Chains A and B, each alone.
Chain A
Amino acid sequence: ETGVTQTPRHLVMGMTNKKSLKCEQHLGHNAMYWYKQSAKKPLELMFVYSLEERVENNSVPSRFSPECPNSSHLFLHLHTLQPEDSALYLCASSRLTGASSYNSPLHFGNGTRLTVT
């Protein structure tokens, strides 16, 4: 039990489909993140939500649309994806401790393995 739960674990979708990835954290954290991990590449930060407000969007294509309805839930809505979007999508959460403090380590879910056909 990681405290961060992602569903589904695996997803295969066509390029015209619309699907959503879900993340839920049970750790009382106030920041949530979406990362993308492609083969043999570093984890790439996609989106950050701090206190339910999006604070970071690292030039992610608009076919990825995040949603954070509350501090415990995070979604990634997917539509008209490309085969190169196939990757492991990781959700993470952390506790932001204040302007003069270090952020706490990220706690990751087990990821959603996405295949776009």
Chain B
Amino acid sequence: DQQVKQNSPSLSVQEGRISILNCDYTNSMFDYFLWYKKYPAEGPTFLISISSIKDKNEDGRFTVFLNKSAKHLSLHIVPSQPGDSAVYFCAASARNNNDMRFGAGTRLTVKP
């Protein structure tokens, strides 16, 4: 069962514009959400996280929004840069649970 879903396999945006990556989850026990970024031939690297007690977390150009009632989170990148081109994975887990579930990823391409 796929408890974390990223329905857009790819996204293309122009440099300087906003990139919005979306993620939906089904397990109401999830209370910790993360975004990872993956370049080719490298492992995923942690980007930003949010706990369920918040609805927004911001770190520089990256902001994650959480809508618990809709079981939806999104990652906003603004302004987008060509170096942001990568695959972005959404992940979720429950407190003190070792089983972190990942989405299938969204490939972001930022065009100069």
Which A residues contact B (CB, under 8 angstroms)?
2, 4, 6, 31, 33, 35, 40-43, 45, 48, 50, 55-56, 58, 90, 92, 96, 98-103, 105-111
B43 touches A (CB below 8 Å): yes
Main secondary structure of the interface of B (DSSP, over half): loop
The answer, among A31, A42, A99, A106, for a CB contact under 8 Å with B103, is A42
Question: Would you call A41 and B104 a contact (CB within 8 A)?
Answer: yes
Chain B interface residues (CB < 8 Å from chain A) = 2, 4, 9, 31-32, 34, 36, 41-46, 49, 51, 89, 91, 93, 95-105
Complexed CA–CA distance, A50 and B45 (Å): 21
- Whether the pair A42, B2 counts as a contact (CB closer than 8 A) is yes
The answer to whether B96 and A48 have CB atoms under 8 Å apart is no
Complex: A103 Cα to B20 Cα, angstroms: 26
Q: Are A45 and B100 in contact (CB under 8 A)?
A: yes
A42, B100: Cβ atoms closer than 8 Å: no
CB nearest to A108 among chain B residues: B43
Q: Which of A35, A99, A102, A111 is packed against the most chain B CB atoms within 10 Å?
A: A102
Contacts of B98 in A (CB 8 A): 31, 33, 48, 50, 55-56, 96, 103
User: Which of A40, A48, A105 is within 8 Å of B46, CB to CB?
Assistant: A105
Which of B31, B51, B99, B105 is close to A45, meaning CB atoms less than 8 Å apart? B99
Across the interface, which residues of B come within 8 angstroms of A50, CB to CB? 98
Q: What is the minimal beta-carbon distance from B108 to any residue of chain A, in angstroms?
A: 16
Interface pairs (26), CB distance under 8 Å: A2-B43, A40-B104, A42-B4, A42-B89, A42-B104, A43-B89, A48-B99, A58-B99, A92-B43, A98-B96, A99-B96, A100-B95, A100-B96, A101-B95, A102-B31, A102-B93, A103-B32, A103-B93, A103-B96, A103-B97, A106-B44, A108-B43, A108-B45, A110-B41, A110-B43, A111-B42
